[in-house]
Amino acid sequence: MILSKLSESWEKMKRADITLDEIYNLILNTATREWERKQLLKCKLEIENGTDKEQALGELEYRLRPLAVRNNLTPDIADFYAKLSGEKQDIESFDLTKHFEDDGPDIERAIFAGGCFWCMVEPFETRPGIIAVISGYTGGQSENPTYDEVSRGTSGHVEAVEIIYENKVISYQVLVELYWQLIDPTDDSGQINDRGANYQPIIFVRDEEQKKIANASKEKLKQSRKFTKPIVVPIRKVEKFWPAENYHQDFYKKNRVRYRRIENSRKQYLAYLKLKGWLKRKFNKK
């Protein structure tokens, strides 16, 4: 009983250090997600309207807790939550070292956009020869875009993955062939349940060799007549790639249940499209 009261007193002391200015700065932080901003704003208004500060902060901690335990808060909010809860949070940061390193003689990169990047990581990352798969944004005008900006369509970027690989183990040709299996190449307005320009499928090529391989693979897909509609995925010159926030990296590892639900939905839809194409080819032959 005594230990419980001491622990409760310690949490109150930690929360007493939290100021309205600190909450306000997080509300204004462009990296704060809209849902997180709403929770902070609600807490701030409650305190300003006379609610006991300890009670308001306690309720805020309760609302943030489900995302905190799944490492799904944005970095600044994760740090704030650690202070709010009075406990050291084990928020693992994604290692972006490989993104900034110079590539060796046998190391290459590929960038693909194919709808939500949550479902574009595991299929590549689990292949031999893959060094890293990084979720991020590319193809737009603004610098250092945030998830909210990209989602609102104000930055011009699309969600994409940067794949760093050993070309002696896995080829760019194999990566492109795998890419076609993950997307609906007939949809240039999004992918499956993800709608909007920020989810447009695009192949970004780094040099003439990648461009040649991508174009040949696209033509091969057209000739296969696997889909009932035209193949509309553009092939564009690579642009600066901006790594996404920590909570988006390795999403399939951090949120297994949610990821599998989204992944299964995509697989079912793509299987349906392929079945339609197969039926069309079969009846056309008859």
Q: What is the pLDDT of residue 12?
A: 46
For 22-59, the pLDDT digits (tens) are: 899 899 887 788 899 999 999 999 999 998 888 899 89
Active site residue: 116, 175, 183, 262, which one? 116
133-163, pLDDT tens digit by residue?
999 999 998 888 888 788 888 889 999 999 9
For residue range 62-109, list pLDDT tens digits in order.
898 888 776 677 777 887 888 888 755 444 567 888 899 999 999 999
Residue whose C-alpha is closest to residue 134's, from 166, 94, 171, 167: 94
Q: Is the dihedral of CA 96, 102, 104, 109 positive or negative?
A: positive
Residues of the chain with CATH 3.30.1060.10: 97-276
CATH number of 97-276: 3.30.1060.10
Which pLDDT tens digit goes with each residue over 262-273?
888 888 888 888
Q: How many CA atoms lie within 13 A of 280 on its CB side?
A: 12
* Residue 119 annotated as catalytic: no
Say which residue, 236 or 248, is predicted with more confidence.
236
Q: SS3 for 263?
A: helix
pTM of the model: 0.69
pLDDT one-digit tens code per residue, 203-217: 999 999 999 999 999
Which among 149, 124, 74, 136 is positioned nearest to 99, based on CA atoms?
136
